[in-house]
Structure 1
């Protein structure tokens, strides 16, 4: 008897979605709320929420905003924030 394959949701599969997850993962890893990250970076918490929920693509950020987020998250290489998790899983 054949069983129908059950679809499982593994999160967003687009590079845009993967980048948003990376920002959220980095923020949580550092123990910051969205508002704490906003205070540390000078980036409005609504913008952070939009990036994390894929309503805003991280690639559309200004270099200044990206650097402020990286500084606040203590990320030495901005590519860690800007590159997709999908790329790192393919290695």
Structure 2
């Protein structure tokens, strides 16, 4: 396996953060992985009264990954999750 070339990371603070509480869909098209992320929200109605409906899943972002980027993400997330007590990162 060849070493991955070192790339300088530029972290632009104006890039918007995406919050997700769920993955809505995932698909594979033409070798790219498409993932839609959402966050559960109870949105107040314009009247200022409590919402009359339960929470909804608002789409917050769409992620398109190459297979190599998806593998990198899985490895990074698995490493992060393994540091949380009680979380099992074994595949289902």
Name the TM-score, length of structure 1 as normaliser. Answer: 0.24
Which is bigger in relative contact order (C-alpha 8 A, separation at least 6)? 1
Q: Which has the higher helix share?
A: 1
> Normalised by the size of structure 2, how large is the TM-score?
0.24
In our comparison, the structure showing a higher alpha carbon Rg is 2
In terms of fraction of residues, the more strand-rich structure is 2
